[in-house]
Structure 1
Amino acid sequence: MRLRSLTLACSLTALTLGPVAHAAPHSGHRDATTAASAADKKPRPDDTIIAVVNSIPLTTRDVENRGKLFALSTGLPVSGELMDRLRPQIIRQLIDERLRTQEILSRHINTPPEQIAAAIAGIERRNGMPQNALRDRLAQDGVSLTTLIDQIRVQIGWVQVLRQELGARGRVSAKEIAQREDALKRQDGRTEYNLSEIFVKVEDPRHSEDELSFTNTIIQELRKGAPFPIVAAQFSQSQTALDGGSMGWVQEDELDPAVISMVKQMPVGAGAISNPIKVPGGFVIITVNGKRVIGHQPGHVITIRQAFLPFDAPLNPEHVTPQQQQTLQKAVKIAQTVNSCEAVAAINQQNGEKRPSDPGELQLERMNPQMRSLLEGLPLNKVSRPLVSTDGIDLIMVCSKKEKNFADRSPSEIADQLMNERVEQTARQLDSDLHRKAMIDMRIKLKGV
């Protein structure tokens, strides 16, 4: 049985989604004004030590690089104000990562460079970037590649730690799956929700004002358009952060009463962001991705193959290059002559497979209206019209269509949910133990650490 899959690589794909332009982001956390305003009015050397975690220093350079990486990945502008708001929470996260790294090393867990390189190559591939383009993009924006490598290494290694910690509990038995299936059958007809969360931990329940301020800052930026999965991956302190905050489908009795009270008031699938919800241990932010009646959610699933023909330069409609003209002619010919999904996949491979030939099963009901309209009316094994974008031309073929009851959970989906519940509980307990045993010397004032 696998643990929750890593999605850091997915969460960082926004690194390539265009120029930085949005709002100012997240964080107004503990002493963002005390630690950042008073001390930060004067420029600090890059290598000023902020904290020492079990003899390992944490420097200003570490914090600034992580802040730049976050801003770059969310499309937020890097500014002094942004860094002041991010800094306290980034420090907490980097302390957590230092503790996790030390635990990874103490267990002699090694993350091969090839695995990290594959994760970075995956980011580039999903975004149609040439090899090493991500390194160049980070350098252009003043972000050390080491910052990204360190984050990937800790996430991969931490999953290995949790596997060891779970031991025999790292497998879900057929009996446990059957018990959950029976429980779901008894709830047939009740409502369940597909939710995503961002959890902000409160260290001292008697003084939670700064965590509440930070939570409200996150909410403001999410409502301005910051991508929820990326913000969750960077800042949520729940294990669901590894999955972009996704909780999957949950029933009302699995949720805190305060959460379900808020969820019932929220629109579904509209990207609405909740107000801060106080729960045991901290605050949570919720968005509702879906709602259904248990046992009843009809829909339509399709499989497709796509071929992407890249341009040699960004398309300017007023100055089309000869290569772009030739690419369009080639796309038109393919649309007229190709009649099998295998052929479309082969063409995509011949053109560098900048986008995946087979993105897996897709639910029509969850697509944007334009794409849904295109694919609903497209006969099987017929190539779509050329879909022109600034970086190339996409051609899509529908390989299969079928109806499906999305409320039916497969045994593997149930096993994943059970395992994720165990992983979450184990991760929180282990994080708590690491903090309890740690020697953390703060060189700046930061409450709650």
Structure 2
Amino acid sequence: MPRPALPLALLLATLLVVPAQAQLPPQSQAAAQANRIVAVVNGEVVSRADIVGRARLFALNAGIAVAPEVLDRLTPQVTRLLIDERLRLQEVQRRRLPVTDAEVADAVRELEQRNNLPAGALRAQLNQIGIQPRVLYDQIRTQIGWSRLLRQQLGPSALPSDAEVKETIRNAQQRVGQTEFLVSEIFVPLDDPRNEADTRRFVDEVIRQLRAGTPFPVAATQFSQAQTALQGGDLGWVRKEEVDPAVAEILDRMPPGAISNAIKVPGGFQIVALRQKRESGRDIATLLSVRQAYFPFSSALDPNNPTQQQRDQVDKAQRLATSARSCEAMEAAARSGGNNQSADPGTIRLETVTPPPLRAMLASLSPGKASQPIITQDGVLVMMVCTREQKNLAELTPEQAQQQLLRDRVELLSRQLQRDLRRRAVIEMRS
């Protein structure tokens, strides 16, 4: 949680302990620089250390060093983001909306899973480069509390009525055949036009890091002020009329996989990543549930000189491929295979499986029939298709329509409340 604000008299006394001309020892100078006050938000301090911690967190996610010039580019916008977060958390606390440590831990685990990281990896990375984990935890706590506040503010009107859901589905059915876009977003607000140049430089820096390989969900969680931030910026499937006209124009020209330049929208700048395109109401997919058993090699395979352990693992896989008649048998074999790989990789969309030979093999397998052993450099794999079904993934369900309506209402309210908090706040910037 943010540090409580110091009483003004105590703060002044602290600042006056060392005369202006006194020379501090190097370690004391570093500590004084880190604790330098950058802003006071309704009596609460945002320090230079807070800003550096957040900038370093972004640099960690981007895989770059925090060089002085990078920190200079990030500082103005990071300062603004921290002020907005402080305002949000103050409002959450004023309304006495608790956010438990368990909820923060759950959000961290979800973030790790979304980025294919093992449990505890984020905390370890933060500690390794000298970033206090609370930098990330405080940010997530604020996001959870703010979401809770918005839902409380909306009250009973937050949940769309059955009539509204039916109308949304009816409208979607009338648009069958139109183009839809699977989009991720980062929204960076701009409240004061005088800060546009600094904000634009920050947005351009984020785009540069995204194109250099920073995962979009990580950057969105760190810097987006949209309500989609906690979901890694995932906006879901949208049509052109559901987004700002400037964004719609860009999406229409973007190829899947591309990241946009900064887009000026009401209230700030938006960055969008286009993940997929499809025709509205038409996305016929072949969905497979499969089971797999993996037999790892103790060393990398040399095809011309396999070890005895590797021969034994291939023999096990061959016996399973010949004898297995059910997915339960595959699960049992996976449990006894001596590795931690899950027998159930989850629902698989056949059309997206790579490489193509693996896709062709799965397409040819009848349910309940095991594949021939698939030998890799690190082990051997046997797969079985349990079920196969065709489904229209683009068909809007009542649950999806409800979530779409709720998301739009929450986002609109969030931006309105943030503007109100800034207008009412007493914010003192320090040089």
TM-score over 0.5 for the pair: yes
Identify if the C-alpha distance between structure 1 residues 172 and 50 changes in structure 2 by more than 3 Å, giving closer, same or farther.
same
- Report the count of equivalent residues: 392
Q: Is 1:422 matched with 2:405?
A: no
Q: What amino acid maps onto 1:294 in structure 2?
A: S
Residue in 1 that maps onto 2:5:
none
Residue in 2 that maps onto 1:411:
398
Within 1, Cα distance between the matches of 2:146 and 2:330?
A: 39
- Give per-residue Cα distances to partners, 1:301-360, cap 9 Å, x unaligned: 22334567899xxx87499xxxx9969966873674355444555677789996766554
Task: Map 1:377-392 onto structure 2 (within 5 A).
Answer: 377-381=364-368, 382=370, 385=373
1:194–1:249 CA contact under 8 A, matched in 2:
yes
Task: Map 1:341-352 onto structure 2 (within 5 A).
Answer: 341-342=327-328
Q: Is 1:112 matched with 2:100?
A: yes
Within 1, Cα distance between the matches of 2:314 and 2:423?
A: 61
Residue in 2 that maps onto 1:187:
175
Residue in 2 that maps onto 1:174:
162
Q: Which moved more, 1:117-126 or 1:283-292?
A: 117-126
Q: Is 1:283 matched with 2:266?
A: no
Q: Which runs of 5+ in 1 are unaligned?
A: 1-41, 445-449
Residue in 2 that maps onto 1:30:
none
TM-score (norm 2): 0.78
Q: What amino acid maps onto 2:391 in structure 1?
A: K
Residue in 2 that maps onto 1:292:
278
Within 1, Cα distance between the matches of 2:289 and 2:62?
A: 30
Within 2, Cα distance between the matches of 1:351 and 1:156?
A: 41
Identify if the C-alpha distance between structure 1 residues 80 and 408 changes in structure 2 by more than 3 Å, giving closer, same or farther.
same
Within 2, Cα distance between the matches of 1:332 and 1:440?
A: 71
Within 1, Cα distance between the matches of 2:338 and 2:105?
A: 18
Within 2, Cα distance between the matches of 1:77 and 1:384?
A: 47
TM-score (norm 1): 0.75
- Give per-residue Cα distances to partners, 1:174-219, cap 9 Å, x unaligned: 1111101111122223222222222222223466222222222222
CA positional deviation for 1:165: 1.2
Identify if the C-alpha distance between structure 1 residues 299 and 272 changes in structure 2 by more than 3 Å, giving closer, same or farther.
same
Q: Is 1:234 matched with 2:217?
A: no
**Is the partner of 1:189 in helix, strand or coil?**
coil
Residue in 2 that maps onto 1:437:
424
Pairing partner for 1:254 from 229, 238, 242 = 242
- Give per-residue Cα distances to partners, 1:384-421, cap 9 Å, x unaligned: 8568688x987754432222222211111111111111
1:339–1:383 CA contact under 8 A, matched in 2:
no
Q: What amino acid maps onto 2:75 in structure 1?
A: R
For the aligned residues, what is the CA RMSD?
Answer: 3.5
Pairing partner for 1:103 from 64, 84, 91 = 91
- Give per-residue Cα distances to partners, 1:31-76, cap 9 Å, x unaligned: xxxxxxxxxxx96622222212122211222222222222222323
Q: Which moved more, 1:180-189 or 1:324-333?
A: 324-333
Q: Is 1:90 matched with 2:78?
A: yes
Residue in 1 that maps onto 2:126:
138
Within 2, Cα distance between the matches of 1:108 and 1:148?
A: 22
CA positional deviation for 1:121: 4.7
CA radius of gyration, larger in: 2
Residue in 1 that maps onto 2:316:
333
Within 2, Cα distance between the matches of 1:354 and 1:165?
A: 45
Q: Which runs of 5+ in 2 are unaligned?
A: 1-28
Q: Is 1:362 matched with 2:345?
A: no
2:184–2:272 CA contact under 8 A, matched in 1:
yes
**Is the partner of 2:34 in helix, strand or coil?**
coil
